[in-house]
Every structure is written in structure tokens, then in C-alpha cells.
Structure 1
């Protein structure tokens, strides 16, 4: 009786040994797949870290660009305000000169009023922008700035010559 029990025990141990070998092989394959997945995960994580650093640099660059755009826009708005003020002063001076010329022409063509009744309003043609907007000695940056000032000065000189002629005729 001892031989069949020993044989049965040996067969049972052999079956268990085969089962252990099969499960060990399956576990070995699973561990290999997990290691491959781990390497893939590590690569994915390193790619994400690189992409994150690149995105942070891009955001910093965008912020710097936005700050520069803001400064440039503020400078351009200030320049536009200076030009608008300068233009309004020049328009007012031009209207005054045109008013004087039209009064002289009306008087010369009508001849009814004496020359002393014509009132001459002195016109100050400001070719300079407000002192706080430009550095001393800086040339105006608008191309029409000097031409407008010269035209207004010429119109003023013409009106003064015409007034002088009217005064000499009246005397």
C-alpha cells in the first residue's frame, strides 16, 4: 500500500509542479508587459514635461509681446492726442486768418466803411506742440506740420499787407 500512496503523492506533486510552472510563465509574460508599459509611461511623462516647459516659455513670450503691444498702443494714443491738439490749434488759427482776409476783401470791394473800422486780431501761429510732449529742439514729426504753419504765416502776411494798402488809400 505504500507504493500506490507514494505514486499518487508523486503524481500530485508533478501536477502541482506543472501548474506552478505554467502560472510562473504567465506571470513572467505579465511582468514583461508591465515593464514595457512602464517604459512607455516614463516616455509619455518625459514628453509631457518637455511640452509643459515649452508651453510655459510660450506663455512668457506672449506676455512679453502683450506688454510691448500695450506700451506701443499707449505711445501711439498719446501721439495721436498731441496731433489732434496741434491740428485743432492750427484750424483755429486758420479760421482767424480767413476771417481777417474775408473782412479785408469785403471792405475792399464794398468801400463803405473807413479803414480804421477794420479790427485786426493778432494771430499767434503755434508751430510747437505743447512743451511737455516734445524735447527741446526736436523737429516736429508730422510732414504737414511745417507746411500748415507756413501757409498760415503767409495768409497772415497777406492780410497785413492788404490792410496796409487799405490804410494808405484811406489816408
Structure 2
């Protein structure tokens, strides 16, 4: 019995060793796959680092461009503001000149007022002349 008991234990140890060997082979395959994945992961990380550096340079360029555009727009806004002030001043001066001219024209008007029919016919003739003028300009391609 001792002999068969020893043989059973030895057989059990042999089976366990075979199972251990099979499991080690399985682990070896998994480790190889993991190492292969590690290499591809390193390559991916390298590409990611390169893309990040390119993006950082692009962002730096964009920041520089934004600063330039901001300065340029600031100068243009200042110029436009100054031009707007000048135009407002010139409009006010033109309005004052127009008021003075109106007063002068009213003061120089003859004491007798023209008949309403004569004024209406003068207005019609001016409107007809303006229409003819605009039609001539359109025909020559100068008017919109």
C-alpha cells in the first residue's frame, strides 16, 4: 500500500506539474502580447507627444496673430472714432451754413410771393428734368 500510495502522490505531482507547465506557457503568451502592446503603446505615446508639440507651436502662432490683429483693430477703431468726430463736426458746421443760407435766401426773397400754380409748374419741370437726367445716366451706365 505504501508503494501504491507513493505512486498516487507522484502521479498527482506529475499532473500538477503538467498543469503548472501549461499555465506557465499560457502566461508566457500573455506576457508576449502585453510586451507587444507596450511597444505599440510607446509608439502611440510618441506620436501623441509630437502632435502635442505641434499643437503648442500652432497655439503660440495663433496668440501672436491675435495680438497683431488686436493692435491693428485698435488702431483702426481709433482712426474711425476720430473720423466720426470730424464728420460730426463738419455736419454741424454744414448745418449751420445751411441755416445761414436759408436766412439769407429768405431775406433776399422779393416781397411778392409767386402764384401757387407757377410754383407747382416749376416743381414739375424740375422733377421732369431730374428724371431725364437720371435716365441718361442709367443709359450710359453711370447710375445704379
**TM-score, L = length of structure 1:** 0.53
- Give the whole-Å Cα distance in 1 for the aligned partners of 2:62 and 2:71: 14
Shift of 1:16: 4.5
Equivalent of residue 48 in structure 1, options 12, 17, 41: 41
Q: How does 1:1-171 map to 2 (within 5 A)?
A: 11=4, 14-111=7-104
SS of the equivalent of 2:76 reads: helix
1:60-105 Cα shifts (integer Å, max 9, x gaps): 1221222122112111111111111111111122122222222222
Q: What stretches of structure 2 of length at least 5 have no aligned partner?
A: 106-144
The alignment covers a number of residue pairs equal to 105
SS of the equivalent of 1:111 reads: helix
- What's the C-alpha RMSD, in Å, of the aligned pairs? 2.3
Q: What stretches of structure 1 of length at least 5 have no aligned partner?
A: 1-7, 113-171
- Give the whole-Å Cα distance in 1 for the aligned partners of 2:93 and 2:11: 121
- Give the whole-Å Cα distance in 2 for the aligned partners of 1:90 and 1:98: 12
- Give the whole-Å Cα distance in 1 for the aligned partners of 2:12 and 2:95: 119
